[in-house]
Structure 1
Amino acid sequence: MQVIRPVGREAASKKYDLLSAMMAYALAGDQNRQRLILRLMALITTRYNWQRNELVMGQKEIARLWSVDERTVKRDMARLRGLGWIEVKRAGVRGRVTMYGLDIERIMLDTRPAWPNIGDDFIARLDGPVAPADTKVVPFRRPEQISADGLWGAACEYLAGEDPALFDAWIAGLADGGLEDGCQTLLAPSKFHATYVRTHLLKRLQMTLRRLDGSVSAVRIQCKTL
């Protein structure tokens, strides 16, 4: 799956791709999902800065746009953060509202099951060549795939379904190092492998594990040889 970066000559079409994916995913769900995603789309289309990945809007303004009270705004923004669709880039303080950013990759991964409802052309366009950052760096030697049980086993099944190629190359070789005090340790077969996963995939691993087990607060990547 290509990572959408809504800048450059094709920025307009990429923005429509993101909004189309969100719309199809919303329509395929229940009314609660539809309402939540519609509200996020309203924020994106009215106040989101695509180039800077910034959404700056106070709770009172959001409540007015959504035609709800501020309690509902707090609840739904928390739900969106829990999904990983938005993240706090700058916490709000007195006189300054919170700045949010979108995790577009997370949104596209979550909405992928609804892409066929849009059409084969949409799928083909977004499943084109992998982004350069993923193609230039490959593991020196593909690690042996490790079977896992428990929480990490469930996470592996989830991640393999999201992106099989990425999973085979980088995630399948990680071993379960145990969960202690909310920190999940994963063991990589080499220092290079550990560094790559820590740099490029840590956020995705954290999000997946937290979705499966809310007690997970951190993920640590270590090399087996340490």
Structure 2
Amino acid sequence: MGQGAAERKYDLLTALGAWGMGQGGAEAMLALRLSTLITARYNWRRDELTTGQREIAALWSVDTRTVKRQMARLRELGWLVLVRQGARGRVAVYRLNTAAILHATRDSFANVGPDFLARMTGDGTGNDSGAQPDGQARKQAGNVVRFPGIAEPDGQDAGWARISDRLQRANPHTHAAWIAGLAGRVEEDRLILRAPSRFHARHVSTHLRDTIYSMAALDGIRRISIEGIDR
């Protein structure tokens, strides 16, 4: 899950809970069931869910037919992605689509409180005001080694600029070291990032993908690709 993984887990569960309570009815139950499944059975280290339908049914206190319907609904929403189909006694493997969940629940951020809204959007109002980090954050950002970046011939993509700005406000130190050197562009619901080297791309993919997802999801991004080039 990379740096800040624990915080992102709690943020995801908080967003789900707040959204569910605001919806009520079937959607509230869906959010509760997914939150319980994530808490009890999601393997964060491997970023996957490998739990059989009978075990899920026992956890949710329902029958397996209800589990099938609810899992189908979660796939339909894009919140769970089927990685491997279950067959011959082997359970299916799922992965959480954090970006899709945060995008769907974004209207509930303000209900949690201004601190949560600020953390999830980059400021206390939910907009992209371009607020700058405080003096200490700027000092920390200035003390890191920056990797050489890639110059965009036609200027920086506006969508990536907005996402990058949120990331910079959230963690200036990490942004200066790893994010600032990326070139990016948004194509519909996909964010395409290019790193100055394969090493840089591997580090970002391994340690920062979820962080980038959480900020990009606020703009409706559901897929991220990270490409590395060697100079």
TM value normalised by structure 2: 0.56
Aligned partner of 1:141 among 124, 135, 154: 154
* Cα contact 1:21–1:111 (8 A) shared by 2: yes
Alignment match, 2:113 = 119
Q: Give runs of aligned pairs for residues 156-167 of structure 1, distance below 5 A.
A: 165=159
1:54-73 to structure 2, matched below 5 A, reads 54-73=48-67
Distance 1:17 1:139, change over 3 A: same
1:197 to 183, 187, 198: 187
Following TM superposition, by how much is the alpha carbon of 1:123 offset from its aligned partner in structure 2, in angstroms?
1.5
Structure 1 residues 138 and 56: alpha-carbon distance in aligned structure 2, compared to 1, 3 A threshold: farther
The amino acid that maps onto 2:83 is: K
Tell me which residue corresponds to 2:39: 45
Task: Return the match for 1:99 from 77, 93, 96.
Answer: 93
SS at match of 1:46: helix
Q: How has the CA–CA distance of structure 1 residues 137 and 20 changed in structure 2, closer, same or farther, with 3 Å as cutoff?
A: farther
* CA–CA distance in structure 2, aligned partners of residues 117 and 77 of structure 1: 27
- How much does 1:142 deviate? 7.0
Query: Does 2:20 correspond to 1:7?
Result: no
- Pick closer, same or farther for the CA change 1:199–1:24 going to 2, 3 Å: closer
- Number of aligned residue pairs: give it: 151
Describe the shift of the 1:61–1:137 C-alpha distance in structure 2 as closer, same or farther (beyond 3 A): farther
Partner SS state of residue 89, structure 1: strand
> Secondary structure in 1 aligned to 2:23?
coil
Task: Report if the CA contact (8 A) 1:7-1:50 is conserved.
Answer: no
**TM-aligned CA distance change 1:197 to 1:139, over 3 Å:** farther
Identity %: 44
The match for 1:21 is 15
Amino acid at match of 2:40: T
Measured at CA, do residues 99 and 28 of structure 1 come closer, stay the same or move farther in structure 2, by a change above 3 Å?
same
Distance 1:137 1:115, change over 3 A: farther
Partner of 2:132: none
Mark the CA change 1:13 to 1:167 in structure 2 (over 3 Å): closer, same or farther: closer
Distance 1:62 1:168, change over 3 A: same
Offset at 1:166?
5.4
Tell me whether 1:85 sits opposite 2:61 in the alignment.
no
Q: Structure 1 residues 139, 33: CA separation in 2 closer, same or farther (over 3 Å shift)?
A: farther
Q: Secondary structure at the match of 1:101?
A: strand
Distance 1:117 1:197, change over 3 A: same
Query: 1:51 Cα deviation (Å)?
Result: 2.2
Q: Distance in 2 between matches of 1:48 and 1:108?
A: 17
Supply the distance in 2 between the matched residues of 1:13 and 1:86 (Cα, whole angstroms): 20
Structure with the bigger RCO (C-alpha within 8 Å, sep 6+) is: 2
Query: Which residue identity is paired with 1:197?
Result: E
